[in-house]
Amino acid sequence: MEKISKEEIADWFRGLQNSICTSLEKLDGRSTFKEDKWIRQQGGGGRSRVIKNGHLIEKGGVNFSAVSGPTPDKILQALNLSETDFFATGVSIVLHPNNPWVPIIHMNVRYFEMSNGVWWFGGGIDLTPHVVIPEKAKTFHQLLKSTCDKHDPSFYIKFKEWADDYFFIKHRDETRGIGGIFFDRLTESGGKSKEEYWNFVNDVGETFIPAYTDAVDELRDKAYSEEDKKWQKIRRGRYVEFNLVHDKGTKFGLDTNGRTESILMSLPPEANWEYDHVPETVLQKETLEFLKKGIDWIE
């Protein structure tokens, strides 16, 4: 069987960006995406699409990129490799809602290869509620488990633990949200073929819209107070801290001379940092209790 090419992978990611943007515009019901095409001087480019001031989404981005060229020294050193060229493509999404009852959602699906034959897939989906609702968390994780189980019964357990470890704000000793799944450097050494991993990444990408639709259902029009908005901005601050301090995707984009505006589109339109902030409501206190690794949301 002929192996799938990097061009075919990039084309599928372009189509995924298109379909997700169309679905999100329908779900939002008011705003539409604005596209910004860009070219990377060292090779490749992308399409950044941003939506803002919608009924549902205050600010969001659905980005596609396919970049190439000489591998930056920082990455060669991290991988312990000699000079070689690279190709990287994928779709990255972050949505910040208006209503504080609606969670932030993030997805990334990506492919990376080098001219020396090294390749891998990575990605995942995770949810960051401002207020954790256990029933919603259970449904979200069950959907991800169903997607994983179609390909390997070990995937959900392994990738859920990986997400717990990855989306962890070490300096706060708390998880960024309720996690989800996260995986990186999936290659043949993991026991599956390139086509098998590619099929899995396809299904993860197509899980995004059902997962987000359920996450916002019954919450998007829920009444909220000024105190709820204040809490939302505090939690957004935690999101910013993770993305700027710990997120490898942010660092990779900056290290490869990616487009800064596209890389930092994950940041919310407004966020607050209040000195020594103490939760003021029962739900806020309960939310902090849920921001721990290892919670079994399904059982």
| Dihedral pair phi/psi, residue 168, rounded to 5° | -125, 125
Q: What are phi and psi of 180, to 5 degrees?
A: 160, -125
> Which runs of E-coded beta strand occur in the chain?
34-39, 44-52, 57-70, 85-97, 104-114, 119-128, 168-169, 174-175, 179-186
How far apart are alpha carbons 177 and 188 in whole angstroms? 31
Q: Residue 152 is encoded by which pair of tokens?
A: 């390997």
Catalytic residue among 55, 96, 106, 171: 106
Phi, psi of 79 (to 5 degrees): -95, -5
Active site residue 106: yes
Instruction: With CA atoms as reference, report the closest residue to 110 among 166, 66, 167.
Output: 66
Catalytic residues: 106
